[in-house]
Amino acid sequence: MISKKVMVVVSVAVGLTAYAALNLDIDIHMKDVFAASPTEPLSDLDVYYPGTEALAPDEMRIVALGTGMPSPRPKQAAACFLVELGNGDKFFFDIGAGCHERIAAQKIPYDYLDKVFISHLHVDHYGDLASFWLGGTTMNRLTPLRIWGPSGHAPEYGTKYAMEHMQKMYLWDIATRAGVIDFRGGQLEINEFPYLTDNEVIFEENGVVIKSFPAIHAIDGAVSFILEWNDLTFVYGGDTAPNKWYIEYAKGADVAIHESFLDPTLLVTKQGFSPAEAMLVGTVAHTSPAQFGKVMSLVKPRLAIGYHFQNDFDTAPVATAAIRQTYDGMLALAQDYMVFNVTKDDIRVRMSAIDEDIFPSAPLKAKNAPNTSLLVPFSDFIIEGNVPFPEVLQPIYDDINKKYGTNLKPPGEE
């Protein structure tokens, strides 16, 4: 076995182009090099196919499902990271605009995806929550969705207020579903905690502890999270300027995620910002790559993950150069669908190959009959506009009843 420490640039073509600057210990197993068969599949494909790999009991899998900016682009959704643990628990850290399709691409039954931790109430950090929550009810989720998020400097700036008003905003949507399907998945469990929580526990279940600490971003009320399980520590930084809490509490983490915003120069050249805007947005409201590097040089995680910028062939090298001024540890600049398998002994970084033709998973438990007392009926005026086409509809009913042994009848004939 030859073992050497090298700096590598991983570039994998899997329908997407992956780019990560990594500093890895690479072990080359000579026997594997010569084990390739002309007829058998390769034993160790360097690609993750969602839904095909078991998690070991001591393993953590982190999937980047949104690594971009508020400005939408096909390649990157806004902030969302999924953490899956070997005990079966799964957690979202942020659920930003555009990430829902990437969540669905994981092929995980929605009943397992019931815990969402929101770092702050910017749309790029929880903009797909409503789609995931209400859309999930017809994707066979029968378990209430549990939300954790910070308070604000006044009650109406907190997560509880936002969630309660989200329920009001989607009253029409809820009214179309609640009396028609088993709507248990439409229930929300809202857990607001003080945004000034200073590395205190906000979640403790099943051997998993999650703590929150303050971030400095825009106005009061942004936070970051630490997840501890099985002697592994995962840190998720929401948007923030460099702050003392992250540097202290993330120290020595196995995986430390922190924003590494688009470099100020690129904010000017690529995004049309004035230099003053670029410096304000890129170094005060957010953390520039050079600042990210400095933070990680103090935190010294096993793996530092930067995100929250347009990660392209020409922007990633700018970020890497700025980060490497101060930080020489293991680094990944996350792209959507990048996957991290973490154990005490190893951290493996790959890209996913995504099946675009996905369907929701079947329900994990028996569905209850809908609560028809919640039905909102059509008005007579609308009903009178209905054109039933019985000669078309009846054969469909006959076919379904024959195939499935049911005795269903068209509306009005029950």
What is the nearest approach in angstroms of Zn ion to the Cβ of residue 259?
7
> Can residue 94 be called a binding residue for Zn ion (CB under 5 A)?
no
Helix 129-137 vs helix 159-169: crossing angle, to nearest 10: 50
- Pick one of 90, 100, 102, 122: the residue that binds Zn ion (CB under 5 A): 122
- The Cα–Cα gap between 127 and 70 comes to 10
- Pick one of 84, 114, 124, 192: the residue that binds Zn ion (CB under 5 A): 124
**Number of residues this chain uses to bind Zn ion (CB under 5 A):** 3
Residue with Cβ nearer Zn ion (60 or 118):
118
Residue with Cβ nearer Zn ion (181 or 319):
319
The answer to whether the beta carbons of residues 129 and 120 sit under 8 Å apart is no
What is the nearest approach in angstroms of Zn ion to the Cβ of residue 48?
25
102, 97, 98: which is closest to 122 by C-alpha? 97
What is the nearest approach in angstroms of Zn ion to the Cβ of residue 69?
7
What is the nearest approach in angstroms of Zn ion to the Cβ of residue 102?
16
Residues of span 215-274 touching Zn ion by CB under 5 A: 239
Residue with Cβ nearer Zn ion (239 or 263):
239
Q: Which stretch binds Zn ion (CB under 5 A): 10-18, 58-66, 117-125, 202-210?
A: 117-125
Q: Which stretch binds Zn ion (CB under 5 A): 45-53, 120-128, 140-148, 395-403?
A: 120-128
What is the nearest approach in angstroms of Zn ion to the Cβ of residue 308?
6
Residue with Cβ nearer Zn ion (166 or 321):
166
- The Cα–Cα gap between 82 and 334 comes to 13
Helix 316-323 vs helix 289-299: crossing angle, to nearest 10: 40
State how beta strands 208-214 and 223-229 pair: antiparallel
Phi-psi region of 336 (alpha: psi -120 to 50; beta: other; left: phi over 0): beta
**HSE toward the beta carbon, residue 405, CA cutoff 13 A:** 0
Residue with Cβ nearer Zn ion (89 or 312):
312
The answer to whether the beta carbons of residues 297 and 324 sit under 8 Å apart is no
Residue with Cβ nearer Zn ion (68 or 185):
68
Sequence-ordered list of residues with C-beta below 8 angstroms from that of 164, at least 6 positions apart, any chain? 190
Residues of span 48-67 touching Zn ion by CB under 5 A: none
| Residue 164 CB coordination number (10 Å) | 13
What is the nearest approach in angstroms of Zn ion to the Cβ of residue 121?
9
Name the 3-class secondary structure at 165: helix
- Determine which helix (DSSP H) or strand (DSSP E) holds 65, and give its type and residue range: strand 60-66
Residue with Cβ nearer Zn ion (182 or 239):
239
What is the nearest approach in angstroms of Zn ion to the Cβ of residue 208?
25
What is the nearest approach in angstroms of Zn ion to the Cβ of residue 277?
16
179, 88, 84: which is closest to 376 by C-alpha? 179
Residue with Cβ nearer Zn ion (124 or 336):
124
Sequence-ordered list of residues with C-beta below 8 angstroms from that of 30, at least 6 positions apart, any chain? 1, 2
What is the nearest approach in angstroms of Zn ion to the Cβ of residue 227?
20
- The Cα–Cα gap between 78 and 319 comes to 18
Residue with Cβ nearer Zn ion (124 or 254):
124
Which residues would be at the binding site for Zn ion (CB under 5 A)? 122, 124, 239
